[in-house]
Amino acid sequence: MPSQERDAFLDRPWKDSTAEPFIRIEGVTKRFGTFTAVEAVSLDIYKGELFSLLGGSGCGKTTLLRMLAGFEEPTAGHIYIDGVDMIDVPAYARPVNMMFQSYALFPHMSVEDNVAYGLKRDGVSKAEISQRVADMLSMVELLELQKRKPHQLSGGQRQRVALARALVKRPKLLLLDEPLAALDKRLREQTQFELMNIQDQLGVTFIVVTHDQEEAMTLSTRIAVMDHGQIIQVGEPSEVYERPQTKDIANFIGTINMFDGEVMSSNDSFLLRCPKISKPLKLPSQAELNIGQQVTLAIRPEKIKMTLEDPHDSLQITLRGEVLEFAYMGNISIYRVKIEGEVVLQITIPNLDRMAERKIEWDDQVFISWHPENSLVLRD
Amino acid sequence: MTKPTDSALTASRLNESAKMTSHRQWVHVVDNFFQSRWKGLSVAIPYVWLVIFFLIPFFIVLKISFAESLIASPPFSSLFEWSEDAALKMTLIFDNFAYLWEDDLYVKTYLNSVKISTISTILCLLIGYPMAYAIVRASGTMKYLLLLMVILPFWTSFLLRVYAWMGILADQGTLNSFLIWAGIIDQPIRMMYSEFAVYIGIVYSYLPFMILPLYANLEKLDLTLHEAASDLGAHPITVFFTVTLPLTIPGIIAGGLLVFIPATGEFVIPDLLGGGNVLMIGRVLYDEFNSNHDWPVAAAVAIALLILLVIPMMFYQHAQSRQINN
Amino acid sequence: MPKKRSTFLLSVLCFGMAFLYIPMFLLIVYSFNYSKIVSVWGGLSTRWYTSLFESEEIWSALMLSLKIAIVNATFATLLGTLAGLALARFRYFRGRTLFTGMISAPLVMPEVITGLSLLLLFITLGDLIGWPEKRGITTITIAHITFSLAYVAVIIESRLSGIGETLEEAALDLGAKPLRVMMDITLPLLAPGMLAGWLLAFTLSLDDLVIASFVSGPGSSTLPMLIYSRVKLGLKPDINALATMIILAVAIGVLIAGWILIRQQKQRQRDAQLAGTE
């Protein structure tokens, strides 16, 4: 492979078909009695990734994480970490550490002892332990609080102790179970960037379990969306957002407007015949379609333009509508616009101008338009 | 990167990983052995203890309850003979139980035990519920103090607390002296050796067992529920009967069983306060065994008492499993 | 929101507390009564305390009871902790249902039945294998351990399920092997539960009359057995003196425990403040 091309993949090894995955999950299934928590999951994760497992509660993401940590044994399949099969390796012998959702700080030990615990188990010398603990605590800015007990710390501080305790062993892989769920919104945003910085500094591979799609979008190099124990899509955040593979994913990640209908053909392109709307909608040209097929056209709210006058742009799809309501969110405004056939669309408009100079109000008759290439074709 | 270095690297890594794998396997084998033994032992020790000192004795009682009474030592037909001649002894088997049924002393005693412990349980509930409620509503240190006051009697001798009532209820006792002094009565009322004394003794001894589960239940109750109900226009009494009471049924059941079950089998209270006048099954069993030396009948009484107590337990189990399902 | 005072609640509370405490108070008052007839006041005196301290019988019964209670509490705590661990942490093992049953049954078993069945066991064992040769301190202790261990197991189990398994998993994840996890995490967290279990087992043993009466032999009377045999026939002033001593000892113990609890509570409040300020 030419070195130039290799460089292009340096940050994105999953694009490089020759790259060796660091973690390989191969056909892993986990059943509890008759309930299947994880079903035939296969996944490759590369060194230095910040990988998110995203899904609602009960989708199997936590079970998958617990199998990586060694708390649960897969019913079938294999997990390789750095080329070693983990099946017979007990949790305490794995080169993996975990940050628990509840943080699981030992309540009877000080911050210092909590962080030192893992190193002591590895038989690291005392001098080295105190050095590494101090380094780690200063990295998370908790050096002054090292003598405190966990219940004398705030939520954010506990979270950082938990992170320090998991990272001090320099694991090959760090697992984070809902790392930010217990923090309030402000702290969560701040901590998100701290996590990314630390991950960047140490180069440790992170796997994060989260139900928060925004969190997954901001943090991750790649996201695996899970549902009913299966992975339904893996990709970079922008791929998952811009090119969701199913209606469920499109709905789960962000908001999306959808039109169901039947494919019909015009001279050079495909159109969607939507029973509620008189005008056929132009479908994106890349989609592989057959005439007569039932599909869904989907368009993200921020990709729709809204004007008081007809844009007269033949390349775009233009519909007429009436503003039902809108919400001012500060940075953006969210409009709900009714078009013909009682179809209501959601549109977000960046607030480029001040509130006072807003142009579109309740009950205004508007033109909404989008470029067909910005829309998506989804199947069930 | 050149080929030779690559393969050398791979070889050394393979070697290393092989070493690590064997080490891990060794650790795993040792750990496996240790884990299974250790867990096994920690279950086995209490398990064996309970089988020897709880389960086997229970079966001995069961066996003896089917045996024949003898004037001998031990005063029952040998356990190890009657299996040889099962056919003959089959006719004897239910003799002791039939005796319990025919002699209406036993039937009366059972019914009386149930009556006394039911009424005592209700009395405990009537006094204990408002007390628990008042404690929950007390603030800060006062709450702890009141709780400690409820717990304290539990740690003092049960026997001595019953004894205390002997001094109060006696003909020349504190209560009679007080009533005469107050001019309410002229002659001492006979209170000792009556069912009244037994009720007092049981309520007094078991009241903390009623208060504590009720307290725990009420403490967990969300006070905003009361506010919500009042906000919706409910009178405090209506709030109590429509919101508080239904939500504390688990505490009432737990407290009720904690009083009812030991009260039914109670020996000390009917013996010291009830004397020979109050028939309760625990005392009859004790006498049957220690005074009459009729072991098979005593064993049959024990088995019958167990069956009597199994019924409320089953209710409790049922209620609990329903609660879990909800 | 200020809590409304309810006269009904307050009066029941006062009545209930009076009901609980007046008998004990009277026990104490009458222990200082000179008169031999307990309920007739004959002037202040400490003669019953003198006769109590001089009574060999009471001292030896007390010593026997304490010995049994300490040995019982220790063994019951060890066995009960193992049983509680098994119930809370080893989800699957053979005979679990029977085990659960044997743990919960002694809690609801009337004392007369427990006593009777254990006596019959000891007699049968004596016939079969010659042990126990005679009944006394050993048989009483065994009987007490049997029912106390169930109480300890329940305390330990509820504490373990309250703590949850995450802390143990975290230790495992940090490289601690199962026995290490046990020593470093599980046992330190269980210590308060074990202490509570020990105290409960100690008290249950010291308090037991019925079971001890069944399984003891000639010459080994525990303190409750001695008290019972004396009060069976009526009121005894020296027993009032003994009761006073016991109530005093318990009250001091409970007050110390209460003081520690309140101090812990305040410490927690301070800790919460410390956590909140930063």
The secondary structure of B164-198 as a DSSP string is HHHHHHSTTSHHHHHHHHTTS-SS----SSSHHHH
Say whether pLDDT at C164 is over 70: yes
Can you tell me whether residue A28 is helix, strand or coil?
strand
Per the CB < 8 A criterion, the answer to whether A311 and A369 are in contact is yes
CA pair distance B202, B266, nearest whole angstrom = 9
The total of structural domains in chain C comes to 1
ipTM (interface pTM)? 0.90
Per the CB < 8 A criterion, the answer to whether A240 and A223 are in contact is yes
Which of C89, C168, C173 is the best mutation test for A, with the most CBs of A within 10 A? C173
Report pLDDT for B87.
41
The answer to whether the CB atoms of C27 and B282 lie below 8 A apart is no
Residues A41 and A83 grouped into a single domain: yes
Report pLDDT for A29.
96
Residues A58 and A155 grouped into a single domain: yes
Residue C15: inside a domain:
no
Is the CB of residue C256 less than 8 Å away from at least one CB of chain B? no
pLDDT digits (tens, 9 = 90+) for C78-136: 999 999 998 888 777 788 888 988 888 888 888 889 999 999 999 889 888 888 888 88
pLDDT-based confidence at residue B127 (cuts at 50, 70, 90): very high
Is the CB of residue C267 less than 8 Å away from at least one CB of chain A? no
Residues A215 and A265 grouped into a single domain: no
Per the CB < 8 A criterion, the answer to whether C109 and B261 are in contact is no
Whole-number CA gyration radius for chain A: 25
In this prediction, residues B231-258 reach a mean pLDDT of: 86
For A296, the domain range is 255-378
Residue A10: inside a domain:
no
Listed residues A233, A251, A269: the one ending a domain: A251
Residue C222: inside a domain:
yes
Compute φ and ψ for A316, nearest 5 degrees.
Answer: -100, 160
Residues A91 and A182 grouped into a single domain: yes
Contacts of B43 in chain C (CB under 8 A): 82-83, 86, 90, 93, 99
Per the CB < 8 A criterion, the answer to whether C10 and B134 are in contact is yes
Report pLDDT for A239.
92
Which of C191, C166, C181 is CA-nearest to residue A162? C166
Can you tell me whether residue A169 is helix, strand or coil?
coil
Helices C7-31, B140-155: inter-axial angle, 10-degree rounding? 40
Amino acid at residue number C137: I
Q: Which of A315-324, C60-69, C145-154 has the lowest mean pLDDT?
A: A315-324
Residues A142 and A276 grouped into a single domain: no
Contacts of C79 in chain B (CB under 8 A): 45-46, 49
Residue A13: inside a domain:
no
CA pair distance A113, A153, nearest whole angstrom = 15
Kindly state the DSSP code that residue B76 receives in the 8-state scheme. B
Is the CB of residue C111 less than 8 Å away from at least one CB of chain A? no
Listed residues A197, A225, A251: the one ending a domain: A251
Residues A247 and A323 grouped into a single domain: no
Report pLDDT for B224.
76
Residues A174 and A297 grouped into a single domain: no
C66-71, Cβ contacts within 8 angstroms, sequence gap of 24 or more:
C66/C206, C67/C137, C68/C137, C68/C140, C68/C141, C68/C144, C68/C205, C68/C222, C69/C144, C69/C201, C69/C202, C69/C203, C69/C205, C69/C206, C70/C202, C71/C141
Report pLDDT for C5.
58
pLDDT digits (tens, 9 = 90+) for B66-119: 776 555 455 565 544 444 444 444 444 566 777 777 777 888 888 899 999 999
Which of C173, C170, C168 is CA-nearest to residue C189? C168
Which region holds residue A103: left if phi is over 0, alpha if psi is between -120 and 50, else beta?
A: left
Contacts of B154 in chain C (CB under 8 A): 203
pLDDT-based confidence at residue A167 (cuts at 50, 70, 90): very high
Residue C16: inside a domain:
no
Report pLDDT for C1.
35
Residues A198 and A269 grouped into a single domain: no
Say whether pLDDT at B230 is over 90: no
Kindly state the DSSP code that residue A362 receives in the 8-state scheme. T
In this prediction, residues A118-146 reach a mean pLDDT of: 93
The answer to whether the CB atoms of C179 and B54 lie below 8 A apart is no
CATH number at residue A124: 3.40.50.300
Q: Which of A120-134, B157-171, B223-237, C202-216 has the lowest mean pLDDT?
A: B223-237
Token couple for A46: 């590369």
Can you tell me whether residue B266 is helix, strand or coil?
coil
Percentage of residues in chain A having pLDDT higher than 70: 96
Question: Which residues have C-beta within 8 Å of that of residue A40, sequence separation ≥ 6?
Answer: A27, A28, A29, A76, A77, A230
- Which residues of C, range 139-198, sit inside 8 Å of B by Cβ? 142-143, 145-146, 149, 153, 177-179
Report pLDDT for A40.
94
B74: preceding bond cis by omega (within 30 degrees): yes
For C193, the domain range is 25-245
Q: What's the per-residue H, E or C state across chain C?
A: CCCCCCHHHHHHHHHHHHHHHHHHHHHHHHHCECCCCCCCCCCECCHHHHHHHHCHHHHHHHHHHHHHHHHHHHHHHHHHHHHHHHHHHCCCCCCHHHHHHHHHHHHHCCHHHHHHHHHHHHHHHHHHHCCCCCCCHHHHHHHHHHHHHHHHHHHHHHHHHHHCCHHHHHHHHCCCCHHHHHHHHHHHHHHHHHHHHHHHHHHHHHHCCHHHHHHCCCCCCCHHHHHHHHHCCCCCHHHHHHHHHHHHHHHHHHHHHHHHHHHHHHHHHHHHHHHHHC
What's the residue count for chain A?
Answer: 380
The answer to whether the CB atoms of C110 and B313 lie below 8 A apart is no
Whole-number CA gyration radius for chain B: 31
User: Strand A317-328 vs strand A305-307: parallel, antiparallel, or unpaired?
Assistant: unpaired
Residues of A with CB under 8 A from a CB of C: 69-71, 90-93, 96-98, 100, 102, 104-108, 117-118, 121-122, 145, 148-149, 151-154, 157, 165-166, 169
pLDDT-based confidence at residue B32 (cuts at 50, 70, 90): low
Q: pTM higher than 0.80 for the full model? A: yes
Size of the A and B interface in Cβ pairs below 8 Å: 16
Report pLDDT for B77.
55
Amino acid at residue number C263: R
Burial class (CB in 10 A: 0-12, 13-18, 19+), C41: middle
pLDDT-based confidence at residue A223 (cuts at 50, 70, 90): very high
Report pLDDT for B90.
40
CA pair distance C270, C273, nearest whole angstrom = 5
Which of A152, A160, A174 is the best mutation test for C, with the most CBs of C within 10 A? A152
Is the CB of residue A88 less than 8 Å away from at least one CB of chain B? yes
Which of A151, A165, A177, A207 is the best mutation test for C, with the most CBs of C within 10 A? A151
Listed residues A223, A251, A279: the one ending a domain: A251
The residue of chain B with its CA nearest to that of C144 is: B53
Question: Which residues have C-beta within 8 Å of that of residue A38, sequence separation ≥ 6?
Answer: A28, A29, A30, A60, A63, A64, A67, A74, A229
- The alpha carbon of A59 is separated from its chain's Cα centroid by a whole number of angstroms, namely 14
CATH number at residue C111: 1.10.3720.10
Residue scoring higher pLDDT (A178 or B276): A178
The answer to whether the CB atoms of B17 and A84 lie below 8 A apart is yes
Chains within contact range of chain A (3+ C-beta pairs < 8 Å): B, C
Q: Which of B229-233, B243-247, C172-176 has the lowest mean pLDDT?
A: B229-233
Can you tell me whether residue A264 is helix, strand or coil?
strand
User: Strand A270-273 vs strand A257-265: parallel, antiparallel, or unpaired?
Assistant: antiparallel
The answer to whether the CB atoms of C258 and B145 lie below 8 A apart is yes
Residue A8: inside a domain:
no
Task: State the virtual CA torsion across A355, A358, A363, A366 in degrees, nearest 10.
Answer: -140
Of C175, C272, C275, the CB nearest to A118: C175
pLDDT digits (tens, 9 = 90+) for A248-284: 888 888 889 999 899 988 777 888 888 888 888 888 8
Residue A83: inside a domain:
yes
Residues A265 and A245 grouped into a single domain: no
Give C23→chain B minimum CA distance, Å: 6
The residue of chain C with its CA nearest to that of A162 is: C170
Per the CB < 8 A criterion, the answer to whether C137 and C220 are in contact is yes
CA pair distance A337, A325, nearest whole angstrom = 7
Compute φ and ψ for B211, nearest 5 degrees.
Answer: -65, -45
- Which residues of B, range 165-204, sit inside 8 Å of C by Cβ? 165-168, 170, 172-174, 177, 204
DSSP-H helix ranges across chain A: 3-8, 61-69, 111-121, 126-139, 155-167, 185-202, 213-219, 237-242, 247-252
Give B16→chain C minimum CA distance, Å: 20
The total of structural domains in chain A comes to 2
pLDDT-based confidence at residue A10 (cuts at 50, 70, 90): low
Give A298→chain C minimum CA distance, Å: 43
Residues A32 and A175 grouped into a single domain: yes
CATH number at residue A265: 2.40.50.100
Contacts of B21 in chain A (CB under 8 A): 84
- Which residues of C, range 94-133, sit inside 8 Å of B by Cβ? 95, 98-99, 102-103, 105-106, 108-113, 116-118, 120-121, 123-124, 127
Residues A89 and A172 grouped into a single domain: yes
Other CB atoms within 10 A of residue B6 CB = 10
What's the mean per-residue pLDDT of chain B? 79
Question: Which residues have C-beta within 8 Å of that of residue B48, sequence separation ≥ 6?
Answer: none
Can you tell me whether residue A94 is helix, strand or coil?
coil
In this prediction, residues A208-232 reach a mean pLDDT of: 92
C132: preceding bond cis by omega (within 30 degrees): yes
Is the CB of residue B17 less than 8 Å away from at least one CB of chain A? yes
Residue C143: inside a domain:
yes
Say whether pLDDT at B207 is over 60: yes
Say whether pLDDT at A334 is over 60: yes
Is the CB of residue C234 less than 8 Å away from at least one CB of chain A? no
Per the CB < 8 A criterion, the answer to whether B204 and C59 are in contact is no
Which of A100, A206, A216, A221 is CA-nearest to residue A161? A100
